[in-house]
Structure 1
Amino acid sequence: MNDAAPVWPVMSIAEAHARLTAPGAPFEIAEATIRGVPTRTWKNAPPTLRDVFLNGMRFKDREFLVHEDERATFDAFGRATLTLAHRLIADGVRKGDRVAVIMRNLPEWPVAFWAGQLAGAIVTPLNAWWTGAELEYGLADSGAKVAIVDDERLERLSAHLKSLPGLERVYVSRLRTAAGDDRCRRLEEVIGAVNDWGGLPELALPDVPLAPEDDATILYTSGTTGKPKGALGTHRNMTSNIGAGGISAARNFLRAGQPLPELDATKLPQRCTLLVIPMFHATGLSATLSPALNAGGKIVLMRKWEAEPAMRLIEREKVTATGGVPTIAWQLIEHPARAKYDLSSLVTVTYGGAPSAPELVRKIAETFPGSQPGNGWGMTETTATFTSHLGKDYEHRPDSAGPAAPVGEMQIRDPADGRTVLPAGAVGELWVKGPQVVKGYWNKPEATAETFVDGWLRTGDLARLDEEGFLFIIDRAKDMLIRGGENIYCVEVENVLYEHPDVMDAALIGIPHKTLGEEPAAVVHLRPGGRATEEELRELVRSRLAGFKVPVKIAFWPETLPRNANGKIMKSELKHAFPRETEAA
C-alpha cells in the first residue's frame, strides 16, 4: 500500500497555461493591435459589456441580486436596466457622454452601471465614501452629464450642485425628502422598487454600436498630486477580467493532476458571492460583479460589513465565495459566534488590496475545510486582476501575489532608467502590459505619458519575480498606503495638515494593523509656541477628507522631520514615533 502524498505540482505554470490557452482550448489566446501595440487577448472573452449583459440574460429565472428583503432575478434586472437605458437616451445621453454612479452597494447600482453601458455612455463610478467636495471634483473633472445617486450621496452633494452646471440630470434612489434641485428625479419613477422590476415591460436593446476598444469607464484613483485621476478604461479592459479570474481556478486543477471541471456556466450549479467590497472599486466591479453577471452567479449585498450578519447570510444563501480584503477573512475566522453557523458552502475566500499575513493562508484552510484561500495583485489602472493566486500555489508561496494571467506580461525594470529589464530575483520597479491596462488618465496627457509607455504601465510598485513568474511586491514606490483595501495617498492628508497654522512639518505613514493591513498615522512638527492638539488635527482632516483617510494617531516630533540629501522626509525613521505598533508587527 502506497501512503505517499500525491506529487504536486505535476506540471509547471507555463505548461498549465500552454494547455489552457492552446487553439480550441477554453482560454485560447489571440493577438490584437491595441493603440498600435500588438497585445495578447482572450479570443473567447465577451467583446463588450453589452455582451456581458446578454450573457447574463441566458439565466432569466435565476436570482441575481439579493439585498435584505429585496430580490431580483436576471430577468427583472434586465428589464430595469433596459428601462433606465432608454430613459437615459431620451434624456439626451449619447455615446461617449459620462454617466456617474454614486451610491453604496444597492441592487440599483448594477442597473445604473449597465444602463449607462447600453446607452453607450462612459460610466463613471465615484467613491461613495468621498466628501461632497471630493464628489464635486469627480463630477466636474469627468464632465458628467447625468448622475445616478442614492439619497445619502445627494445629501452630501446638495450644497455642491450649483457648482455643476454641466450636470443636466440627477436620478436619486431611495429619496426620503425633497431633492431641492430641479434637476433631481426619483429613480423609482423610472424603474420602480426592486421587488417590482419583474413587472416592467420587456424592451429591445438600444441601437448603439459598441466595440471592444470603445471607452467604457472612468474609475478614479488617487494621484500623488493629491487630486484623483480618472483611469479611462475600454470595454476590452473590463471584459478581460473574466478570463483572468477563470483561468486561475482551472490552472490549479491541472497542477494537481486533476481533469478540468465543466466550464460552461449554463451546466454548473450557481455560484453565490457575498459582495462586501464597494462596487465603485475595480475589484468589486470588474473582478466580481461583471464575471457574476456573465456566468449567471448570484450577488448578495450587505449595507455594511459585520461579521455575524455576514455569517448568517452565508448560511441562508449558501454563499460559495466572499472576501475582498484581509479584514473580512480574519473576522470570519476569529469571531466567537462562528460555530453557530453552517459555513460549509464556502469554496473560496479571496482578498487583495492590502498587505496580508502569511499565517492567514493557513488559518483559512484550517477554519473552512474544502475552501481555497486566494489573493492577487492589480490596480485601478489594470482594471483589477492582473495576477491571481489560489489554493495550493498560494499555500506554498503565501508571500507572493501569484503569476500573471497568460495574456499579461510583467517586467522588473531598473527604477533609475525605466528601461533596463532586471533578471529573476532582482528588485526593481514593476511594469505590466496586457488587455487589462487602461488607455490612460482622463484629460491628463502629461500623467498619461509618464505612466503609460508603448503599451506598458509603470506601476510605481517595487517588486521581484521568481524563476516561474510569481510576483512578490516589496514596497510601494509611490507614496501611498492601503487601509483595508482603500488607497490613501499621503500627500493628500499631509496637505490638509499643513493648512493648520501651527504645523510646520507633516508626514503620513502606515502603522501595521492585523486585519486592515495598515492604518494611517501622522507625525507633525509644530512651529515654536504652537499648541495644536492631536484631536484638533484629526478633526481638521475629517472636515476635508473621507473618514478612512483620517490618521488614527498623531505623534508630535520635537524638531524638523528627518530628511535625506535630496530634502525628502525619511519616513522609515518616523516609525519610531509609534514603537508599540512597530513592535507588534
Structure 2
Amino acid sequence: MVMNCIDAFDRSVRCHPKRDAVRTEDGRRLTYAELDERTDRLAAGLDSLVGSDRIATIAHTSAEAVEAMIASQKRGAANAQLPFRSSPGELVGMLEPTDASLLLFDAPNAETALAVLDRTDIEVAVSVGGEATDRDDVRDYEALLEETDPERPDPHGNEHGILYTSGTTTASKGVLFEQDQLWYGSTQVVMEHGIDRHDVAVVTTPWYHMVTTDAWILPHLQAGATLVIQEAFDPPETLSLIDEHDATGVLAVPTQLHGLVDAAEAGEYDLSALSYIRTGGSVVTEDLATAAGEHLTDGIYNTYGLTEGGPNLAFADPEIQTEKPGTIGKESFTWELRVVETPPSPDEFDPTAEVDAGETGEVIGRSPGMCDGYLDRPERTEELFADGWLRTGDVARIDEDGYLYIVDRVDNMIISGGENVYPQEVEEVIARHPDVEEVAVVGLDDETWGSRIAAVVRGDTDEETLDEFLRDSDDLADFKRPREYVIGADSLPRTSTGKIRREEVHSEFF
C-alpha cells in the first residue's frame, strides 16, 4: 500500500479525535473528529451535486478552505485552488483546462466568483457565508452540510488538487497533483521540523499556495497538530495569535518575517513557545536571520521549493544558516538535486553537465513527489523536463561543501555588454546599505550595451550615495553596477509569496 494524504489525515482522526485540528481568529474550534465528520458531509454533498467531477475554490484562508481541501482528497477528485487575488478574466483562463463543474467561494470573493460563473460553463456553486444564495445556481455551504449524511463516498481517484504557479515571469499555469505526490512533500516537512501532535502552527500565507498546502497545512494535520488560521496576514495580530495559542510554529516569507520582527520590536508579546519559523521564496539575509533570532526565535529554517516540485527540494536548518548565511541547504529527503550548466539554447541542455564548486548554473532535480506536468500545456511540460529531471528555472551557486545559494531565475538574466547579470545578486548587495529598505533591479534596452542595469529603491538615500557604496563594494563587479536609479518608491509590486514582479516594476517605473 502506498500512503497518501487522506490516509495520513485518517490516522490523526483515529489517534487524536478530541484534539483541536483547526482554530480560527474568531474563537471557533474544530476537533479532528468534527473536521472528519464535516468533510465527510462536504465530500458527499459535492458528489450529490456534480458526481465525480472536479471542483474549484476561490476563498481566503479559512476553516472552510481547509475543509474543501480535505473533502476533495476524500472524493479523490481535484480541487482547483484558485488564487483569489486574480482578476475574473484570469480566473476564467485558469479554469478552462480544469474540467471543474462546481465553484466554491466565500463572502469576500463573492463578486469575483459570480463574475466567473457568468463567464464559464459551470452550472452550480456553493457559497460560504450565504452570499448570492438567492441565485438558482448557488447553494449555501452550511445548508449543504446539514442536509447531507456524514457518509464518506467511495473515492473517484487519487487526485488532491490543482495548484498554480506564481506567474512572476509568465502567465500562471495549473499543476495537477496526486495525493501520494504531495504526501512525499508533507512527510519531509514533518521529519525536518520534527512536527508532532503537541505543535500549534499559525497559518499566515494564502492557503492556495503550494508552500501553505504541502509544507504547512497537510504536514500539521498529518502529525495530529493544531492549525490556527489567520485569514489575512497582519504582523501584530500574528504575534497576538502566537501569544494567545502558545504557538510553536509559523510560516512566513521574508517580507512577512521583516514585518514580524518590526512588530515584535514595537510591542510586548510572549513568544516563548515559538520554536520554528519556516521561510523561503526569496533571500533570507544574514541581518534578517539575526534579527528574527533576536526578537522571535532562533529556529529559522530556510527552505527552497516550487509549485511544480513541491515545497521542499532543499532545506537549511538554523545551525547551517548561522554557519552559511543565505544558503538553502542541501537536497531534502526523496530529492536528488544537481546544478548544471545553463546553455545558450534550450536544445543544448545537458542534465549531466554539472558545474564545479563556486560556479553557478540551473538547479534540476528528481523525486517521486514532483509533478507530471502542466494542465493542457504540452509544450511547456516538455520544456519542464530533461531526461526525467525537473528543470526549476532557478540559478544557484554551489559552494565547496555542496551547499546551495539561489542566485536568481534563468528568465531574469540580463545580458549587458555580453556579460550575464542576475538581478537578485545586484539586489542583495544594494540591500546591504543601511538606508535601503527595499530594492528591485531590472534590465532596460540600451543601444550600446544591449541592456543596462537599473534599480528601483525604497529608502532614505540618493543615487550618488548608492553608486559610491557599490563602487566600494568587493562583492559586485563594476559591469553589474546599475547605470540608472529610481529612488523613493513607496512600495514594490510583489506576489503573495513575496517575489518581485519585475514586469510590473519595469512598466511602473520606466
User: Which category describes the TM-score, using the shorter chain as reference length?
Assistant: 0.7 to 0.9
Q: How far does residue 172 in structure 1 lie from its aligned partner after superposition?
A: 0.9
Alignment pair present for 1:207 and 2:151? no
2:445 to 561, 573, 578: 561
Judged with a 3 Å threshold, the aligned counterparts in structure 2 of structure 1 residues 93 and 116 are, in CA distance, closer, same or farther, namely farther
Q: How far does residue 287 in structure 1 lie from its aligned partner after superposition?
A: 0.4
For 2:462, the equivalent position in structure 1 comes to none
Q: How far does residue 53 in structure 1 lie from its aligned partner after superposition?
A: 2.3
Alignment pair present for 1:91 and 2:91? no
Native 8 Å contact 1:308 1:337 kept in 2: no
Q: What is the CA–CA distance in structure 2 between the aligned matches of 1:125 and 1:517, rounded to whole Å? A: 33
Alignment pair present for 1:144 and 2:100? yes
1:6-64, Cα deviation, whole Å (9 max, x unpaired): xxxxxxxxxxxxxxxxxxxxxxxxxxxxxxxxxxxxx9xx7222212212312110111
Judged with a 3 Å threshold, the aligned counterparts in structure 2 of structure 1 residues 126 and 209 are, in CA distance, closer, same or farther, namely closer
Alignment pair present for 1:577 and 2:477? no
Q: How far does residue 339 in structure 1 lie from its aligned partner after superposition?
A: 5.1
Q: What is the CA–CA distance in structure 2 between the aligned matches of 1:407 and 1:282, rounded to whole Å? A: 17
Native 8 Å contact 1:245 1:287 kept in 2: yes
Q: What is the CA–CA distance in structure 1 between the aligned matches of 2:36 and 2:447, rounded to whole Å? A: 57
Judged with a 3 Å threshold, the aligned counterparts in structure 2 of structure 1 residues 242 and 377 are, in CA distance, closer, same or farther, namely same
1:435-490, Cα deviation, whole Å (9 max, x unpaired): 2211100011110001122321111111122344321111211239xxxxxxxxx9
For 2:292, the equivalent position in structure 1 comes to 364
For 1:537, the equivalent position in structure 2 comes to none
Alignment pair present for 1:430 and 2:363? yes
Is the partner of 2:383 in helix, strand or coil?
Answer: helix
For 2:23, the equivalent position in structure 1 comes to 66
For 2:63, the aligned partner's letter is P
For 2:316, the equivalent position in structure 1 comes to 389
Judged with a 3 Å threshold, the aligned counterparts in structure 2 of structure 1 residues 222 and 284 are, in CA distance, closer, same or farther, namely closer
Alignment pair present for 1:228 and 2:183? no
Q: How far does residue 222 in structure 1 lie from its aligned partner after superposition?
A: 4.5
Q: What is the CA–CA distance in structure 1 between the aligned matches of 2:159 and 2:404, rounded to whole Å? A: 30
For 2:486, the aligned partner's letter is F
For 2:205, the equivalent position in structure 1 comes to 277
Alignment pair present for 1:418 and 2:349? yes
For 1:118, the aligned partner's letter is K
Q: What is the CA–CA distance in structure 2 between the aligned matches of 1:222 and 1:336, rounded to whole Å? A: 29
Alignment pair present for 1:173 and 2:128? yes
Q: What is the CA–CA distance in structure 1 between the aligned matches of 2:205 and 2:4, rounded to whole Å? A: 24
Q: How far does residue 175 in structure 1 lie from its aligned partner after superposition?
A: 2.7
Native 8 Å contact 1:332 1:338 kept in 2: no
Larger mean CA deviation between 51-60 and 285-294 belongs to 51-60
TM-score (norm 1): 0.69
Native 8 Å contact 1:93 1:119 kept in 2: no
2:229 to 285, 301, 307: 301
Unaligned stretches of 5+ residues in structure 1 = 1-42, 193-199, 251-262, 481-489, 491-508, 524-559
Q: What is the CA–CA distance in structure 1 between the aligned matches of 2:86 and 2:482, rounded to whole Å? A: 28
Is the partner of 1:322 in helix, strand or coil?
Answer: strand
Q: How far does residue 343 in structure 1 lie from its aligned partner after superposition?
A: 0.9
1:256-281, Cα deviation, whole Å (9 max, x unpaired): xxxxxxx8x4xx5x100111001100
Native 8 Å contact 1:93 1:145 kept in 2: no
2:189 to 245, 251, 255: 245
Which of the pair has the greater relative contact order for Cα pairs under 8 Å at 6+ separation? 1
For 1:182, the equivalent position in structure 2 comes to 136
Judged with a 3 Å threshold, the aligned counterparts in structure 2 of structure 1 residues 303 and 478 are, in CA distance, closer, same or farther, namely same
Larger mean CA deviation between 356-365 and 81-90 belongs to 356-365
For 1:325, the equivalent position in structure 2 comes to 253
Unaligned stretches of 5+ residues in structure 2 = 414-422, 455-479, 490-510
Is the partner of 2:152 in helix, strand or coil?
Answer: coil
Native 8 Å contact 2:117 2:123 kept in 1: no
For 2:301, the equivalent position in structure 1 comes to 374
Q: What is the CA–CA distance in structure 2 between the aligned matches of 1:520 and 1:281, rounded to whole Å? A: 23
For 2:200, the aligned partner's letter is C
RMSD: 3.2
Native 8 Å contact 1:79 1:202 kept in 2: no
Q: What is the CA–CA distance in structure 1 between the aligned matches of 2:452 and 2:113, rounded to whole Å? A: 36
Judged with a 3 Å threshold, the aligned counterparts in structure 2 of structure 1 residues 129 and 521 are, in CA distance, closer, same or farther, namely farther
Alignment pair present for 1:115 and 2:43? no
For 1:188, the aligned partner's letter is E
For 1:418, the aligned partner's letter is F
Is the partner of 1:330 in helix, strand or coil?
Answer: helix
Q: What is the CA–CA distance in structure 2 between the aligned matches of 1:148 and 1:563, rounded to whole Å? A: 51
Native 8 Å contact 2:341 2:361 kept in 1: yes
TM-score (norm 2): 0.79
Residues matched between the structures, number: 443
Is the partner of 2:240 in helix, strand or coil?
Answer: helix
Native 8 Å contact 2:41 2:152 kept in 1: no
Native 8 Å contact 1:354 1:517 kept in 2: no
Is the partner of 1:145 in helix, strand or coil?
Answer: strand
Judged with a 3 Å threshold, the aligned counterparts in structure 2 of structure 1 residues 577 and 411 are, in CA distance, closer, same or farther, namely same
For 1:25, the equivalent position in structure 2 comes to none
Q: How far does residue 136 in structure 1 lie from its aligned partner after superposition?
A: 1.8
